[in-house]
Amino acid sequence: MNLQRFIDAKQEELRALRANMPRPLAFPRPDFAEALRAPLPAGQSLRVIAEMKRSSPSAGVINGTANPRQIAQCYAAGGAACMSVLTERVYFNGGLEDLAEASSAGLPLLRKDFIFDELQVRETFATPASALLLIVALTPDVGRLRALRELAEEQGVHAVVEIFSEQELTLARESGARIIQVNARNLETFATDRTAGLHLASLRAPDEIWIAASAMSERSHLLDAAASGYDAALVGTALMKSPNPMLKLQQLLHE
């Protein structure tokens, strides 16, 4: 099972956190949700959460030498509303230090990782992240999902709750999620179905923020997501593969 290997890979980190939890950072974090609710710039159909990742299990090495500080500056200049940073080490070659580097650009940061334990949420407070990712498939127990979300929000860190299906949407809502990320990639099989993700957006409630993730690599994909009712798209691989991430982002956002 693909998800179990991600859980297994986290056990050493959890043991380290039990022995030594870093102290929370005390500073005002940029508001992740407000950045996604802000009025769209002229000529732009959708906000983009631009992602920093060096590799992934499905794509292999994408940009192994990427510098998060430089990437963040490119994304900010290119018009990103927020930035997602992969902090998973074993399969994505990331780390919490990447969040610190990326924060120099001033964008609200999403910590994207396999988070399923309270210790990981508390660890996030020691970083400049404005939001963290919770995955329903990883934490299908509604009570546990709610507890993790509430713990994050107590410290001003938004919880982005990721779903893949209508059934997972029901669980996300039962947990009180208000920011819904629809992943077009099945985390068990790694197969993508962007069309199914677009159809799910018809279930969006007016008070929710919806993000389309995975298989978002062309301007037409963003236009489709906007027409379906999404507020934002998370774009990673297409930007990280580009020799000029800033230009690529601008091309995605504008005619």
Angle 126-98-158 from CA coordinates, rounded to 5°: 50
Is there a domain that residue 10 lies in?
Answer: yes
SS3 readout for the chain: CHHHHHHHHCHHHHHHHHHCCCCCCCCCCCCHHHHHHCCCCCCCCCEEEEEECCEECCCEECCCCCCHHHHHHHHHHHCCCEEEEECCCCCCCCCHHHHHHHHHHCCCEEEECCCCCHHHHHHHCCCCCCEEEEECCCCCCHHHHHHHHHHHHHCCCEEEEEECCHHHHHHHHHCCCCEEEEECECCCCCCECHHHHHHHHHHCCCCCEEEEECCCCCHHHHHHHHHHCCCEEEECHHHHCCCCHHHHHHHHHCC
C-beta atoms surrounding 19 within 10 Å: 7
Q: What is the pLDDT of residue 160?
A: 98
Rounded to an integer, the average pLDDT of 166-191 is 89
- Give the confidence band of 41 by pLDDT, cuts at 50, 70, 90: confident
Is there a domain that residue 24 lies in?
Answer: no
Is there a domain that residue 240 lies in?
Answer: yes
> What is the number of domains present in the chain?
1
> Which has more pLDDT, 214 or 96?
96
Tell me the residue range of the domain where 145 lies.
2-19+31-253
Take residue 5 and report the two structure tokens written for it. Answer: 């290997």
Residue pLDDT, tens place only, 18-31: 999 999 998 889 99
Phi-psi region of 227 (alpha: psi -120 to 50; beta: other; left: phi over 0): alpha
Is there a domain that residue 116 lies in?
Answer: yes
Is there a domain that residue 6 lies in?
Answer: yes
Is there a domain that residue 155 lies in?
Answer: yes
Is there a domain that residue 103 lies in?
Answer: yes
pLDDT at 187 over 80: no
Residue pLDDT, tens place only, 98-113: 999 999 999 999 999 9
47/36 Cα distance (integer angstroms): 7
Beta-carbon contacts of residue 243 (< 8 Å; ≥ 6 apart): none
Residue pLDDT, tens place only, 42-95: 888 899 999 999 988 777 888 778 899 999 999 999 999 999 999 999 989 899
Give Cα 71 to chain centroid, integer Å: 16
Is there a domain that residue 219 lies in?
Answer: yes
Give Cα 100 to chain centroid, integer Å: 16
> Which has more pLDDT, 245 or 215?
245
Q: What is the pLDDT of residue 28?
A: 87
pTM of the model: 0.93
C-beta atoms surrounding 144 within 10 Å: 15
CATH of residue 15's domain is 3.20.20.70
